[in-house]
Structure 1
Amino acid sequence: MTIAPALIEDIRTASRTMVRELGFMRATLAATDYSASGVHALLEIETGDGVSAAQLAQSLGLEKSSVSRMVGKLIKAGEIEERTAEDARVKRLHLTPQGRQTVAAIHAFGQAQVSQALQALNPSQQQSVAQGLTTYAHALKTIRLGTHQALTPNLLISAGYRPGLIGRVAQMHADYYSQHAGFGAVFESRVASGVAEFVGRLDQPCNQIWVATLNERIVGSIAIDGQDLGNHQAHLRWFILDDGCRGSGVGRQLLSAAVTFCDQQGFAAIQLWTFKGLDAARRLYEASGFELSKEEQGSQWGTLVTEQQFTRIYPEG
C-alpha cells in the first residue's frame, strides 16, 4: 500500500507539535520532579501493580539497564518499593502511599490538559481525535513489538436503534463508495432513505440492526431485513465500516452477530448484494458460508459497476 508523502509529513508535523505541547521536551513532566520515562514508569507500575523490572522495560520500550537505574531512583525517592514474589528470584514493583499520591496528581494534571484541549473542538472532532490517536498508537506499538493484534479497545457491538444512526450509516457509505466507486448524491440519498424506512420496522422480530461503537462513536453497522425479500429469506444490508476500523476484526464481529440472528430466526437463506472488487468483504462473506450466486452490470447508483449477489443457504432439516 502506497502512502501519500504529504499525509506522512502531516502526521510527523502533528506528532512533533504534540511532543512539544505536552511537555516532553522539558527535563520533567506532568508537574513532577521526574523525567518522562519516570512518569511513565509510575503509571505502568500503577496499572500492572506488581510488575517486574523486566516487564516494565518491555512496556516502556527501554533498555533493562536504563529501567534499573530509574527504578533505583524511584525507590530512593520513596515512590515505589520492591517486594519478593512467589519466585524468590523475581522482585515485583509496587507504589508506596507516597507513590499513589504522586500518580493521582499525574492523572489530574493529564486529565486537565486533555480536557482543556478538547474544549476547543466540537463533539464530532473530539471523537475523531480519540479514534485516530487510539488507532495510530496501536499501530506504532504493533510495529515495535512485531505483533498483529486486532484493535478493539473500548469497542462495543450493540443491537437496535440509537440516536444519529441513520445519518452516520449514510455518511460511512457515502465516504467509502465515493472514493471506491465514484458514487454521489443518488447513492447517499438512497442509503439514507432506506435506513430510515427500515428503522421504522425494527419493532418486527425478524428485523434487526447492529452497530459497532468506539468511544461512543458509530464505526460500523450491519442489518438483517427479514421482510423485504419474502419466502422466509433474510436480506443482509448496510454492512459498512469506518475506514479507521478496517482490518481490526470489527467487520467479522458484526457479520457474526447478523448470521447468528438469522440462525435463531430460522431463515431459509440470507441474501446480500455488493459490488465486484471489494475483496476483503468477499473473504468475510465466504468464510461465513456465503457463495456468489449472481453477477451483472448495473448503473442504478449513478455509476456503472458490476453488482454481485451472495447467498447463504440453510440445509433443510
Structure 2
Amino acid sequence: MVQQNLDEASEVIVPSVVEQVRSASRTMVRELGFMRTTLAGTGYSPSAVHTLLELGEHGTLTAAQLVQALGLEKSSVSRMVTKLIQSGELEESEGEEDGRTKQLSLTKQGRRTLEEIHTYGQIQVSSALAMLTQQEQRTIAQGLNAYAQALKAYRQEKVKTVSAKIQITSGYRPGLIGRVAEMHASFYSRHSGFGQFFESQVATGVAEFTGRLDNARNAIWVAESAGRIVGSVAIDAEDLGNNEAHLRWFILDDGCRGGGIGRHLLTEAVDFCDRQNFSAIQLWTFKGLEAARCLYESLGFELTNEEQGNQWGAAVTEQQFTRIR
C-alpha cells in the first residue's frame, strides 16, 4: 500500500519541490534546536519536552498512549517517564477503571516547566514570523500544518503495512541457523570484506546457541515475511556472566531495512531482558553502521569501548555498546 501510494504520488510530485522541502526541514531542525541534546531552553531532551507538551494538552495519559503519541519504543518512554517523575515534573496515579494502569499527569512543577516551554516557543516562532508579511505567515501556517499531517499519515500507514506483512516469532525453527548465517555473510561481505571464516563462525555460534534454548533466559526472535526469515536477534544469558545479557546476531535481510522491523526485533529483546532482570545488556558491532547505532542508542545503549581488530579476516573498528538496567 505504501509503495503503491509512493508510485502514484511520484507522477504528480515535482522533484525540485521534494528537495526544497528536505532542505527547509534540515534548516528548521537546526534552527529550532533539535540537533542539541536539550530543547526549548530546558535541561530536557526533545522527547521529554514533547512528553510534557502531550500531557499538557491531554491532561492524563498512560505510558502506552505516550508511546503511540510520540512514535517511540516503550522501553525508551519508560526510562524517560521515570526520569521525569524523579525530577518532579510528572506524577503517577491509579486508573479509575483499572488500578493496574498508571495514569501520568503533570505536577505543579511540571505545569510551570510547561508554561516556560510555551513561552520559549512562542517567542522563538513570533520572532521569526515578524520578518514576514501577514500573507506569508498564513501561507506558512497552512502549509506546515498540511505537511505535518501528511507526515503523520504516512508514518501510520507505513507501520500498518509493515505490521501486516511481518510476523515476529521466537524460538528455533528449521532453516534458522543457515538463514541467519546467510544474512550475516551477505551483508558483511559487502560492508567489511568478510568471507568464509566469518560465515562459518556465525553458523557455528548460532548452532551452538540454539542447543541451549532450553534455558528460559536464552531466547532468539526472527522476523518472517511470507514464511521467509528476514531478520533475527538473540539474547544469550550464559556466555558473559555477572547477570549480563549478550545481544547477538541482530541482522536484517536486504530490502527490509528502514521499515521498523529492526526496531521491533530489538524492542522484543530489550523488553525480554528487563523482564528477566539482567543487570546490563552488551553487544558488539563495527564502526560505520550508523543506522544501527542510532537504533541502539534510541533504546538506551551507549558506546563503551572501541578498538581495531582483524579477527574476522579484515581490519575493522570493533565497538561495544552497553545498556545498563
Name the structure 2 match of 1:193. Answer: 204
Q: Does 1:274 align with 2:298?
A: no
Name the structure 1 match of 2:294. Answer: 283
Tell me: CA distance 1:137–1:289, structure 2 relative to 1, closer, same or farther (3 Å).
same
Tell me: CA distance 1:142–1:244, structure 2 relative to 1, closer, same or farther (3 Å).
farther
Q: Does 1:158 align with 2:169?
A: yes
CA deviations on 1:152-177 (whole Å, 9 max, x unpaired) are: 13210001001100000000000100
Q: Does 1:264 align with 2:275?
A: yes
Tell me: CA distance 1:138–1:253, structure 2 relative to 1, closer, same or farther (3 Å).
farther
SS in 1 for 2:263: helix
| CA distance, structure 2, for counterparts of residue 262 and residue 311 of structure 1 | 13
CA deviations on 1:103-156 (whole Å, 9 max, x unpaired) are: xxxxxxxxxxxxxxxxxxxxxxxxxxxxxxx89657535756974525513210
- For residues 300-315 of structure 1, the aligned pairs below 5 Å read 300-314=311-325
Given the alignment, which residue of 242, 260, 263 partners 1:252?
Answer: 263
Tell me: CA distance 1:311–1:202, structure 2 relative to 1, closer, same or farther (3 Å).
same
- For residues 87-126 of structure 1, the aligned pairs below 5 Å read none
Name the structure 2 match of 1:111. Answer: none
Name the structure 2 match of 1:294. Answer: 305
Tell me: CA distance 1:137–1:178, structure 2 relative to 1, closer, same or farther (3 Å).
farther
Q: Does 1:179 align with 2:46?
A: no
Q: Percent identity?
A: 63
May I ask how many residue pairs the two structures share in their alignment? 181
Select the structure of larger CA radius of gyration.
Answer: 1
SS in 1 for 2:255: helix
Tell me: CA distance 1:189–1:279, structure 2 relative to 1, closer, same or farther (3 Å).
same
| CA distance, structure 1, for counterparts of residue 199 and residue 182 of structure 2 | 7
Q: Retained in 2: the 8 A contact 1:232–1:267?
A: yes
TM-score by length of 1: 0.54
Tell me: CA distance 1:231–1:248, structure 2 relative to 1, closer, same or farther (3 Å).
same
SS in 2 for 1:178: helix
| CA distance, structure 2, for counterparts of residue 241 and residue 235 of structure 1 | 18
Q: Retained in 2: the 8 A contact 1:135–1:244?
A: no
Q: Does 1:211 align with 2:78?
A: no
Q: Does 1:242 align with 2:109?
A: no
| CA distance, structure 1, for counterparts of residue 271 and residue 254 of structure 2 | 25
Letter in 2 for 1:306: T
Letter in 2 for 1:311: T
- For residues 42-121 of structure 1, the aligned pairs below 5 Å read none
Q: Retained in 2: the 8 A contact 1:272–1:311?
A: yes
* CA drift at 1:243: 1.1
| CA distance, structure 2, for counterparts of residue 254 and residue 142 of structure 1 | 31
Tell me: CA distance 1:178–1:165, structure 2 relative to 1, closer, same or farther (3 Å).
same
CA deviations on 1:18-65 (whole Å, 9 max, x unpaired) are: xxxxxxxxxxxxxxxxxxxxxxxxxxxxxxxxxxxxxxxxxxxxxxxx
Letter in 2 for 1:181: S
Unaligned runs of 5+ in 2: 14-149
CA RMSD of aligned residues (A): 1.9
| CA distance, structure 2, for counterparts of residue 213 and residue 138 of structure 1 | 24
Tell me: CA distance 1:185–1:140, structure 2 relative to 1, closer, same or farther (3 Å).
same
Letter in 2 for 1:140: D
Name the structure 2 match of 1:140. Answer: 7
Tell me: CA distance 1:184–1:205, structure 2 relative to 1, closer, same or farther (3 Å).
same
Tell me: CA distance 1:161–1:276, structure 2 relative to 1, closer, same or farther (3 Å).
same
Name the structure 2 match of 1:61. Answer: none
Name the structure 1 match of 2:213. Answer: 202
SS in 2 for 1:243: coil
TM-score by length of 2: 0.53
Q: Retained in 2: the 8 A contact 1:223–1:239?
A: yes
Unaligned runs of 5+ in 1: 1-133
Tell me: CA distance 1:267–1:193, structure 2 relative to 1, closer, same or farther (3 Å).
same
SS in 2 for 1:229: coil
